[in-house]
Chains A and B, each alone.
Chain A
Amino acid sequence: NAGVMQNPRHLVRRRGQEARLRCSPMKGHSHVYWYRQLPEEGLKFMVYLQKENIIDESGMPKERFSAEFPKEGPSILRIQQVVRGDSAAYFCASSPPSSGDNEQFFGPGTRLTVL
């Protein structure tokens, strides 16, 4: 059973460009979460999605950041007009539909570098 998959693993963008990060949850999981980890800092919650629905986006910056989880295909975290401060590791996690245990399983992350 494949784990959570993220691509690309590394992404380099120049200031002002767009970054698209993809996440495929574990098989059978329908809940997806995005986290950001800045150098020497802990993981910070960004957004929680189910298929075609954003459930909680309270951790997302109000501008330039958006997320979706379409009926078909991976979840996408999109950052428009990237700035140097967006450089970080972005992790996706997933959990099964009736996750009473709230356990989340993480992907390997996408490391975004903004030049």
Chain B
Amino acid sequence: EDQVTQSPEALRLQEGESSSLNCSYTVSGLRGLFWYRQDPGKGPEFLFTLYSAGEEKEKERLKATLTKKESFLHITAPKPEDSATYLCAVPRYSSASKIIFGSGTRLSIRP
């Protein structure tokens, strides 16, 4: 069964303390892996799409990487405004329109 698991559930960091969020996936054939950011009371905001193992994408302090079984979202020298829930998602192989979301990692950056 297609599945997406994110860890940790919650992560508290000091401002400037770099770390990584994990997303492991099980899907018959990967048609892309998405990262979203969601702030409280708002809709998910699209960040990245990754398609193949070894691919990397960057945006400001965030870098997403992909292997055959998992993806990492690395955050370098985070700031308090990076606090949010980060969601990972993959389309089902059988129906690319149906995206499966992980339960997210709640990231909190203390000043």
Contacts and interface: CB of A to CB of B under 8 A. Distances in A.
* Interface magnitude class on chain B: 20 to 34
Contacts of A91: 43-44
A105 B36 CA distance: 10
Interface string A62-73: 000000000000
A104 B99 contact: yes
Contact of A102 (B32, B87, B101, B104): B32
Contacts of B49: 101-103
A59 B100 CA distance: 11
B59 interface: no
Interface size grouping (class) on chain A: 20 to 34
Given A91-B44, A101-B32, A107-B43, A45 B98 contact: yes
Given A42-B103, A101-B49, A102-B31, A58 B98 contact: yes
B44 A106 contact: yes
10 contacts: A42-B102, A43-B44, A43-B101, A45-B100, A48-B97, A48-B98, A56-B97, A101-B49, A104-B99, A106-B46
